[in-house]
Each structure stands twice: as structure tokens, then as C-alpha cells.
Structure 1
């Protein structure tokens, strides 16, 4: 442990119940921003660099499981146990639209062009809403084999990936046909699936394993066993030479991408870590926990060795085999029941001036 750096994080209070999802915006002319989802029913917007609170989105009546910002950080979206996904004005905090569902909504994601909103949840249905025609019926894709846990867009909005709460594997939908075209095999349910900032890799966390997949040819690049059960993982976006993972032991661990060696271990949370995400420039990363807090950890300045390492990561991608066999979905895993917040609807969203 003597070689592992201990870092004092920025601690962001405000949520009264567990923080279950975090999302960083890209860098905008006004900086970058961090939005958080919590079981307390109130997503919060913060300055991504300092962690300072900007505003709270008020309107959900149940636990909020997922949140995201569009690439301009002008609009936010949230998915909730109150059977709705909501679209918000990130500048004023106003609710722009509520998309009603028939069951708990676990995940939401803006398309790269920001015109579409993707949702999924306990209905086992992926829906694509046209944000230019909010009142129009959504497009529904081929039904998911299980309750949807995570979703993301890739290939310039031509492909959608999703994982389930009750079975292993990551399924890939072709947006043009609306059908599942491939499944990436994992033994356990995938609780975190992230597309890298450059679109080259898919990072997944499934139980005690973190995997990296080629996002173009879907070959398995790396697979590392973790020292504990992890719920979330994120790849450093600038150089791609390290990744972070957090889970049930309350630690946020930093690993070398090339070797899987643990190079850092930071503790500060007082409950399991549900989500970890790198900031868009890789200078810091955030963690959200069962303890209701968000902590932002600085990574420190990158050195030349790290920059040289990034070229190695790209070389690895070029060497991946182009043919991947079709795989079968793993047997069902334990279904995690989504709970609904007891908190009543609060007051209208507020913001700092």
C-alpha cells in the first residue's frame, strides 16, 4: 500500500439518499458540468471542475436511476422509478417534457446529435423519442431479453448498446433495423457500460471483472479480475492509460490499463460506491455512493510517459481480430429490485446566480 497515493477529494453534499448515477458533459464554452441521479428523486447539476452546486431539478416522485446532459450542457434528462423520463432545461431548471412509461425507467441517453432521447427500464423495451416532436409516439426497438440496466449510443447514433439487470451480456441494436445484431458475453450482469470519449472502446463492469471491448469490431481487448465486486468503471479519456473502478468495499481503485496493476486506492466514502466517471479532460474523476455524497478526486498532471503510453493503447486496438463469434446470453442473475423514493415532490428547481 505504500506506493498508492492517498488523495483528499472534494466532497459534494446535497443528496439525502444514495447517489446511483453520474454524468459529465463535454467541455463547453462555459466549462464542463456534472449531473447526478439519486434515490432522493432530485437530480442535481454541478460545476464539473469544482463540484459547486448549480441547481436541482424538481419534479420526480420516485427514485431517479439515471441522468445525462446533452453535448452542449443545455438540456438534461433523467429516468425515474415514477414511471417517467423527464427532459429539463439545464439553464433554468424548468421541466420541458415528461415522457410517460408503463414501468420503472432505469436508463436514459441523449443521441450524439442531441435530437433523440433513448430510454429503457423494467418494461424491457428501448424507446427512442424525437425531441423535436416531443408529443409524437416514440420508436420502439426489438424487445430486450431482460430488464434494461444501462444504455448508450455509439457509431454516430447508428448503434445502441444495452445491458440487463437480470442476466449477463451486452446487447447491440442496429438503429436502422431496430434489431439486436450482437451480444458481448459476460458471466455476470453488466452494471456499468461506458463508451470511451474517442469512440474506440466500451468499458464494462460485471461483478468482479472489468472488461474493455473494441467498439468497432467488438473484440475483447482486456479483461481484469477486480479485488472486490465492482459496480462501475471508467477509462481515462485523454491518454487511455488507466481506469478506475468502484464497488462494494467503498474504495475507488485506479488501475494501469496495459497491465491491470492497481496503482492507486482512495477511500473516503462510507458506503458502497455505485458510480465512477472521469471528467472529460481526465484531470479528475467523480464517485457517487450509498452514503449520499459525491466525491471528486484529482488525478494530478500527466507526464510524458503517460502520453507515450496512449500510442500503445491505439496500437492494441489495431491488432484485434476482426471476426467475433456469436455468443449466447448467460443464465439469469439475481434481479435487483428498484425501490421508489418516499420523498414527496419538492419545490421548483433553483439555481445559483
Structure 2
């Protein structure tokens, strides 16, 4: 069944040749996921991935699947109460949940975080630059979104490392025992935290969501817990990878780095090109046809998982001119880094803000920034959805 090995070791070195072959030879292909032990359809062309994201015949709702399908693809039942969020919902439930979250997760709230983000970046860089070389993922890329999320959500700052540990388990492939432990610990933590916020509300996103729930809106306690869970889990790993991938791409392409240093106003378009060229999420979350569906000339059986490869779609020459080139002035740049349609990422504006502030401040404070190891020695994380480096050693001077 596995004509193409998208889970092999070679994918942690350079996944693009395999994805190019899939676009050319089997753009909609059925593979066996060795971690799940279940079939998985992979869509690789840009036009097809965009269509998959918009096609209402494919459901995100786990509750609509049969017991057999749920046990086949969702093996950790301890995650059930944490998964009552927007990523696993279809309209009208998705519409209700997103509307409620939008009321609390306002543009004003994000704008007000800019000064906090700038201050946090400054402090992290000042601490990091006391050492000759550092792992940039550890000292900046992942510390920043953790700090921002704790400020936004209102969880205690001293719990940041617990979130990092739990999220690392969540995105790792095949560790079902660790996932069960993580889910149990995370759920217990959130129950206690939400009880505390009900007693002592503050000016944070969690308190705003609780207020909406208690004023008669249609948000259950389980949905509230799931909302906070997905904000932490999705907002941390993806934003950290966006920052790390951005620095990696710029250091790998010195001409583009020089161009950005010469014209810092290009930082916004540079981040958009990072989202295309090396997106922090490499695959869409799974979608399921509830009946047999013909998609792009291929019959997909009911309740078999379908994912779209964002990394492949973003390197599709049918959509992007000179798709293999990293170009910080690329226009148009209709990448799918934050999804498309109903499930477009609610945190897109915050992720963009964190990445632009962090990368801009880094380049300004470290004019001789470079890799501390041979760049070909770097490896990409193994995992189904996230796309990021295992480490990113840098030095402030050659």
C-alpha cells in the first residue's frame, strides 16, 4: 500500500523530492500509516488541497464517525474530553464555537499584546546573547509563544515548561502511552485552572470565555476546557516552528537575508514566504468522508482519513512560479499556511505578529548571526502534522 514512504527517515532530511514524485505520479494516494496501523489518503497538489479544505463532503467531526472508525484513528480515549473544540467540529457546531471564541479573541486583544511581545523578545535575546552560541529554538522560538500564551490565557508563568512537555508529547508520532498520561495530566490541570478562574476572574481570554459561558451562551464546561487546551497546544508548537523555520530559511538564503536587512519593511512579506516555503504545519488535520466520495477521479471509501500536504502544495509549480525558490518579495503568495475556508486559523494574526516582531528584533540585534553547525546536519522533526527543526544552533559571530 505504501508506494511512497512519507514516514521514513529521509523525510527528516529532505521531504521535497518524495512529495514532488507524489504530485507527479499519485496526487491522491492511499497509504498505510505505520503509527496508526490504518489507511490514510494523502493529497499533494495545491488545487486539490485547497479543494479538500473547502469540500463539505469531508467531515472534521469525530462524533459523526462510527465506533470502528474512531477506534481506528483516535486510539487515545483519554483525549476525548480535550477534543471538543473547533478543529474537530463541522457547522453548525463549528460556527457556534468559532463565533464565541471570536468574541473573546478580539483584534484589540491581539493588538494590545504587541508591546508585551516586543518586551518579551528583548529580554529573551538579551539573555541568549550572553552565550556565544545557543539553540535558537530553546532560547527564543518556543519560549516566546509560551510566554505570550500564558499572558493571553492567564495561566501561571511557572507552568510554561509543563505545557512545553505536554505539547511535545502531543505532536510526537506513535507514543500512545505517553499521550494517555499527558491527556490525563493536562485535563486535571485545566479543571483546576478553570475552577480557579471562575472564583477569581481576571482580564484574560479564559475569564472572557467563562463570562460568556455563565451568561447563558452555548459553551459547555467540556467545550471551554477543550478551547483552552487547543489554544495552548496549537498556538505553542506552530508559532515556535514558524519563528525557527523563518530564521533557518533566511540563513540558508543569504541573498534574501541581505535583502531583508537592507529593507526591514519586507519583514511582513518575508514571514508570508516562510509560511509558504517551510510552513510550521506540514499537513492538514484529518478529514473523513461520511459516505464513499469521488475526489479528483479517485473513489475514497467512507470513514477513511484524508489529509492534505501543505508542504507539497506550497511547492507545486502549477501554483507558484519558481516554487523551489525562497523569495521574500513573492507576490501573489496565496499559501495555505493557516488553512482555508471554515477552518482558517483563528490565531493567524497573533502568530504573524509574534514571528514578525521576533525575527525583526533578532536580525537587528545580531548583525552577524549564522549557523553554529553545518546546516546540512540539521534534521526535521518526525511527526504527522508539525513541520519544524529538532534544533537550530546559531552563533552571534562567525
TM range (shorter): under 0.3
**Structure with the larger RCO, 1 or 2 (CA within 8 Å, 6+ apart):** 2
Q: Bigger radius of gyration, 1 or 2?
A: 2
TM-score, normalised to structure 1's length? 0.24
Higher strand share: 1
